[in-house]
């Protein structure tokens, strides 16, 4: 699976959009981009995933660049409850490598 690079930490104001970048310059054509988050002392929570088209669900939007070398997770209206570590993971959607490889993630702090 391709490696990802994320900023170590970022702050966001409550009520504003939070834009979380992820670099995955070595991604291959059959690899998806997945986002999870982990609120303190809880299990990771699936947020969204995509292949090449932008995706949106009730939690967030995922914008993937045309060359697929980077992506941005957007939390449209950040709340204090969005404070968490956010993990960007790339993996083949269907393969015999089933694991999720977590990096260090981005620690997002939403401030009032």
CB of 44 to other proteins, least distance (A): 5
Question: Rounded to the nearest whole angstrom, what is the least distance from the CB of residue 109 to other proteins in the complex?
Answer: 16
Rounded to whole angstroms, the Cα distance separating 77 from 40 reads: 20
Nearer to other proteins, 98 or 112 (CB): 98
**Beta carbon nearer to other proteins, 39 or 80:** 39
Q: What is the residue-wise DSSP string for the chain?
A: ----B--SEEEEETTS-EEEEEE-TT--TTEEEEEEEE-TTS--EEEEEESSS-EE-SS-EEEE-TTSSEEEEEETT--GGG-EEEEEEEEESSSS---------EEEEEE-
Binding site for other proteins (CB under 8 A): 34, 41-46, 49, 85, 87, 93-105
Closer to other proteins by CB, 14 or 44: give it.
44
Nearer to other proteins, 94 or 112 (CB): 94
């Amino acid at each position: 699976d391709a490696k990802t690079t994320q900023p170590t930490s970022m702050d966001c104001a409550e009520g504003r959009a939070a834009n979380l970048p992820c670099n995955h310059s070595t991604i291959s054509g059959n690899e998806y981009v997945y986002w999870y988050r982990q609120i303190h002392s809880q299990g990771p929570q699936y947020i969204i995933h995509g292949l090449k088209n932008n995706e949106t669900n009730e939690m967030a939007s995922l914008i993937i660049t045309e060359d697929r070398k980077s992506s941005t997770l957007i939390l449209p209206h950040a709340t204090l409850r969005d404070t968490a570590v956010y993990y960007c993971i790339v993996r083949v959607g269907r393969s015999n490598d089933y694991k999720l490889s977590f990096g260090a993630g981005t620690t997002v702090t939403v401030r009032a």
